[in-house]
Amino acid sequence: EVQLVESGGGLVQPGGSLRLSCAASGFTVSDNYLSWVRQAPGKGLEWVSVIYSGGHTYYADSVRGRFTISRDNSKNMLYLQMNSLRAEDTAVYYCARGRDHWNFFDYWGQGNLVTVSS
């Protein structure tokens, strides 16, 4: 059974850092496209970043240069390192798997709230 389980969210001050983790089971992270998608309070869904099976990464303009997506193949884990956090980064963050090397998302984690506030 495919599962994605996130951890690492919480409250952080503006300018601070946080790392989100996503534990995958039922499939191999290195063989798949994995993305982070977020939803700010009362807002819609926003794609944040992707890591392809070959290792290439892409970012939304709103996070490029501040966030880094990575994976640990040995642990079957996905990560999102978030630096220089801003209030507007406050959101529920989801890890999501792209179906068959496409970029629509068939499995999602349960979501992890990140709150950036002083």
**Residues at the contact surface with other proteins, assessed by CB under 8 A:** 35, 37, 44-47, 50, 58-61, 94, 96, 99, 102-106, 108-111
In degrees rounded to 5, what are phi and psi of residue 58?
-140, 155
Cβ proximity to other proteins, 72 vs 104, nearer residue: 104
Cβ proximity to other proteins, 50 vs 116, nearer residue: 50
Q: How far is the CB of 74 from other proteins (least distance, A)?
A: 26
Q: How far is the CB of 106 from other proteins (least distance, A)?
A: 5
Cβ proximity to other proteins, 18 vs 35, nearer residue: 35
Q: How far is the CB of 58 from other proteins (least distance, A)?
A: 4
Distances (CA, A) of 32 to 28, 36, 56, 91: 7, 13, 12, 25
- Are 64 and 80 a contacting pair, CB within 8 Å? no
- Are 105 and 12 a contacting pair, CB within 8 Å? no
Cβ proximity to other proteins, 17 vs 24, nearer residue: 24
Q: How many CA atoms lie within 13 A of 87 on its CB side?
A: 2
